[in-house]
């Protein structure tokens, strides 16, 4: 009998982890309790727009009671105070978005990529100048990151094919050996390995693991091993648990 439990990490999870590592490297922490000055924020705004005019970039203003439309915008009036910056970059389309948001209340970088769960990295502080350099580097190197992602996918597909072939060999080998012997057996796919459970009479169960590294050694001697266990069972007068090389014999 063949059964399957939870699968290994999917390609979506691997792709998400790939981008999460890259996005997580954008932030450069600042001094504890520090916050960039208005001059630093305005400098970052001007520099990002000069090199990446396609970005949507806004300066956030301090909210002043009684004033309308004072929370954000590119135009300033006398007395306006800068409170933060908001940058949005569409890297390919509306489905691939890199965002940086900094205000006195919130500081984060987010990344959306073609339907993957949004990656959100928060920080208490940041070195704005260095963080902006990393933000721009991510934009500039995005084509290189895509090449890296494609290589990850090729390697994932190779591993998946090898894993599928290995699992097929294990399933076929177990069935060919145990079915003619008349044992009741249960082969459970645990993702990284198989758990093989073999019934050897009333309240007697042998359990072992099979994986890509050990199945070529264990399957050829499985019948002989079971015969040795049966001979041992005949001479036992009470139930015992025997553990050996991470394999469990339950009697």
How far apart CA 204 and CA 250 sit, in angstroms, is 6
Residue 59 domain-assigned (yes or no): yes
Residues 200 and 94 in one domain: no
Long-range contacts of 112-118 (CB under 8 A, 24+ apart): 113/15, 113/19, 116/12, 116/15, 116/16, 116/19, 117/16
Residues 203 and 173 in one domain: yes
Question: What is the model's pLDDT at position 75?
Answer: 57
Enter the pTM of the model.
0.71
Residue 246 domain-assigned (yes or no): yes
Among residues 213, 151, 228, 215, which one has the least CA distance to residue 187? Answer: 215
Residue 2 domain-assigned (yes or no): no
Residues 15 and 124 in one domain: yes
Domain end marker among 88, 113, 140: 140
Question: What is the model's pLDDT at position 201?
Answer: 73
Quote the number of domains for the chain: 2
Residue 150 domain-assigned (yes or no): no
Question: What is the model's pLDDT at position 181?
Answer: 87
Q: How many CA atoms lie within 13 A of 205 on its CB side?
A: 10
Domain end marker among 109, 140, 171: 140
Residue 4 domain-assigned (yes or no): no
Residues 175 and 130 in one domain: no
DSSP, res 114 = T
Among residues 45, 99, 47, which one has the least CA distance to residue 75? Answer: 45
Question: What is the model's pLDDT at position 65?
Answer: 57
How far apart CA 11 and CA 23 sit, in angstroms, is 18
Question: What is the model's pLDDT at position 74?
Answer: 52
Residues 14 and 102 in one domain: yes
Residue 147 domain-assigned (yes or no): no
Question: What is the model's pLDDT at position 1?
Answer: 54
Tens of pLDDT along the chain (251 residues) come to 545 544 456 899 999 999 999 999 999 998 888 899 999 999 999 999 999 999 999 999 876 555 554 444 455 565 678 889 999 999 988 899 999 999 988 999 999 999 899 999 999 999 999 999 999 999 999 999 999 999 999 999 998 898 889 889 988 998 998 889 888 888 888 888 888 888 887 777 888 888 888 888 989 998 898 888 888 877 777 777 766 555 444 54
233 to 147, 185, 201, 218, 226: CA distances (angstroms): 58, 18, 10, 21, 10
Q: Residue 14 is part of which domain span? A: 9-140
Among residues 180, 175, 220, 221, which one has the least CA distance to residue 194? Answer: 175
Q: In what helix (H) or strand (E) does residue 213 lie, and over which residues does it extend?
A: none
Residues 92 and 17 in one domain: yes
Domain end marker among 108, 140, 172: 140
Residues 105 and 20 in one domain: yes
Contact between 189 and 1 under an 8 Å Cβ cutoff? The reply is no
Handedness of CA 162, 167, 168, 174 (dihedral sign): positive
Question: What is the model's pLDDT at position 5?
Answer: 45
Residues 87 and 133 in one domain: yes
């Amino acid at each position: 009998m063949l059964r399957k439990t939870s699968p290994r990490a999917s390609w979506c999870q691997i792709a998400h982890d790939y981008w999460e590592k890259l996005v997580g490297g954008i932030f450069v922490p600042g001094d504890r309790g520090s916050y960039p000055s208005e001059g630093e924020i305005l400098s970052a705004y001007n520099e990002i727009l000069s090199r990446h005019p396609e970005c949507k970039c806004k300066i956030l203003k301090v909210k002043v009671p009684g004033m309308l439309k004072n929370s954000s915008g590119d135009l300033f009036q006398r007395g306006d105070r800068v409170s933060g910056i908001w940058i949005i970059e569409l890297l390919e389309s509306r489905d691939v978005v890199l965002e940086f948001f900094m205000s006195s209340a919130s500081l984060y970088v987010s990344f959306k990529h073609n339907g993957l769960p949004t990656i959100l990295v928060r920080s208490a502080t940041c070195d704005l100048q260095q963080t902006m350099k990393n933000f721009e580097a991510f934009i500039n190197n995005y084509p290189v990151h895509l090449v890296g992602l494609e290589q990850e996918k090729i390697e994932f597909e190779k591993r998946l094919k090898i894993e599928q072939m290995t699992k097929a060999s294990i399933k076929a080998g177990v069935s060919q050996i145990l079915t003619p012997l008349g044992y009741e057996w249960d082969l459970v796919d645990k993702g990284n390995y198989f758990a093989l459970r073999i019934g050897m009479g009333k309240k007697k169960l042998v359990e072992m693991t099979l994986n890509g590294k050990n199945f070529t050694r264990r399957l050829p001697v499985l019948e002989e091993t079971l015969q040795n266990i049966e001979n041992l069972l005949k001479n036992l007068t009470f139930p015992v648990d025997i553990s050996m090389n991470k394999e469990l014999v339950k009697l």
